[in-house]
Amino acid sequence: MIVLVAAMLLGGCSREGGGGAAKVDVQAQTQALTNPDAETRANACAELAKAGPRAEKAVPQLIAALKDQDPLVRRLAAYALGEIGPAAKSATPALKELMNDSDRQTVSAAILALSAIDRASKDLKPLPNVTQ
């Protein structure tokens, strides 16, 4: 799981890339976002990210996942919204709220998602200094 997450957050997953997007069952992964198991919810976010813009129908559930108790789920939900791109514009207020999260990696994911959804956004604060 950690390897999958690291590869995705470092750009290993591409919306345009090899046949992965075609294999994602968006409806099943959207339903998995409500599973009581955090790892299942995190995997669902990762799979929806692979689907990219095809996962547009999952945006409301991904917005809800931004408030998950598990920081990994919040981070991957933000990542998935960024991979969906401009079609996830309705997530902008929730992503801006996520920029105040106590987990720095989640804040970074929110900022990256916002920039992917709206590249012209001028109200994004800089990434936090993770060396402090």
With beta carbons less than 8 A apart as the criterion, state whether 26 and 58 touch: yes
* pTM (predicted TM-score): 0.79
Burial 64-90 (b: 16+ CB within 10 A, else e): ebbebebbbbbbbbbbbbbbbbebbee
How many domains is the chain built from? 1
What does the pLDDT read at residue 110?
A: 96
3-state class (DSSP) for residue 96: helix
Residue 21 has pLDDT above 80, yes or no: no
Tokens describing residue 101 = 């999260």
Share of the chain above pLDDT 90, in %: 71
One-letter amino acid of 42: A
What confidence tens digit (pLDDT) does each residue in 26-63 have? Answer: 999 999 999 999 999 999 999 999 999 999 999 999 99
Instruction: Give domain status of residue 41, yes or no.
Output: yes
How far is it, in rounded angstroms, from Cα 109 to Cα 105? 6
Instruction: Give domain status of residue 89, yes or no.
Output: yes
| Structural domain harbouring 66 | 23-117
Instruction: Give domain status of residue 127, yes or no.
Output: no
Does residue 110 or residue 2 have the better pLDDT? Answer: 110
**Mean of per-residue pLDDT scores for the chain:** 84
Instruction: Give domain status of residue 125, yes or no.
Output: no
Instruction: Give domain status of residue 123, yes or no.
Output: no
CA dihedral for 9, 15, 21, 27, sign (positive or negative): positive
